[in-house]
């Protein structure tokens, strides 16, 4: 079995670039583009390049500091641990960046993370290398094939328009505090801000009895 999570708004209770933008008083412009991207009203890749362009020149230390301060979503540790204890693979596919997902991979014991990379030149933000585009399923498929996991065994937990292609490769799609467009395409929705609540949904869908692991 495999669970695939989005990162910002799902495993992290925050969006990275808008917080980084506050450091240079550009949060309004960044939020405007971020919202359009999440809603699917602009080309996602173009929006990402545009946002990073606006933040060019911020020093690496600031970028790292903001990344390290992102709060992990309520219930994320327990949900991931519950799945791992039951022998599941846990993957994250993020339109974000390694600078913020490396810590998450370690803290949540994720098996694999697909994400983008911020490019720094002389210690300053200079651009972005896009590895994950708006077709997140394309990234996920690589590991799914390697791990030999079937569609029936895949659960997806996401919130944005750039995540919806993942629904094509799963049996259970959970829209977590998501955009309406995402809710319409999901198997089920979860509005409560607590990721442990995905466990009863999984249990019911698959007739399982996974006990929720409480964090020590």
Per-residue pLDDT tens for 160-214?
988 999 999 999 999 999 989 999 999 999 999 999 999 999 999 999 999 998 8
pLDDT at 38 over 80: no
DSSP 8-state code for residue 59: B
Among 31-40, 70-79, 143-152, name the one with the lowest average pLDDT: 31-40
Dihedral sign for Cα 75, 68, 119, 29, please. positive
Whether the pLDDT of residue 216 is over 60: the answer is: no
Q: What pLDDT was estimated at residue 34?
A: 82
Phi, psi of 120 (to 5 degrees): -115, 140
Place of tokens 């209770």: 13
Domains detected in the chain: 2-13+72-206 (3.40.50.1000)
74-81 mean pLDDT: 98
Q: How many helices (H) and strands (E) does the chain have?
A: 9, 7
pLDDT of residue 106: 97
Residue 140 to residue 4: CA distance in whole angstroms:
8
Query: What are the E-state strand segments in the chain?
Result: 2-5, 89-97, 112-121, 124-129, 154-158, 172-176, 188-190
């Amino acid at each position: 079995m495999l669970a695939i999570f989005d990162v910002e708004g799902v495993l992290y209770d925050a969006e990275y670039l808008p917080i980084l933008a506050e450091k240079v008083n550009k949060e309004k412009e960044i939020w405007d583009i971020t919202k359009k991207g999440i809603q699917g009203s602009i080309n996602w890749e173009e929006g990402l390049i545009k946002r990073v362009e606006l933040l060019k020149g911020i020093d690496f230390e600031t970028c790292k500091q903001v990344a390290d301060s992102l709060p992990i979503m309520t219930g994320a540790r327990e949900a991931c641990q519950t799945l791992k204890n039951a022998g599941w693979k846990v993957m994250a596919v993020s339109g974000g960046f390694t600078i913020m997902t490396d810590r998450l991979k370690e803290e949540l014991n994720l098996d694999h993370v697909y994400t983008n990379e911020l490019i720094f030149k002389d210690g300053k933000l200079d651009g972005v290398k896009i590895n994950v585009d708006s077709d997140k399923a394309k990234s996920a498929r690589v590991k799914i094939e390697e791990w030999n996991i079937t569609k029936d065994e895949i659960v997806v937990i996401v919130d944005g328009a750039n995540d919806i292609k993942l629904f094509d490769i799963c049996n259970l799609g959970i829209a977590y505090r998501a955009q309406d467009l995402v809710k319409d395409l999901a198997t089920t929705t979860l509005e409560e801000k607590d990721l442990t609540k995905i466990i009863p949904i999984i249990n019911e869908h698959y007739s399982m009895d996974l006990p929720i692991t409480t964090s020590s």
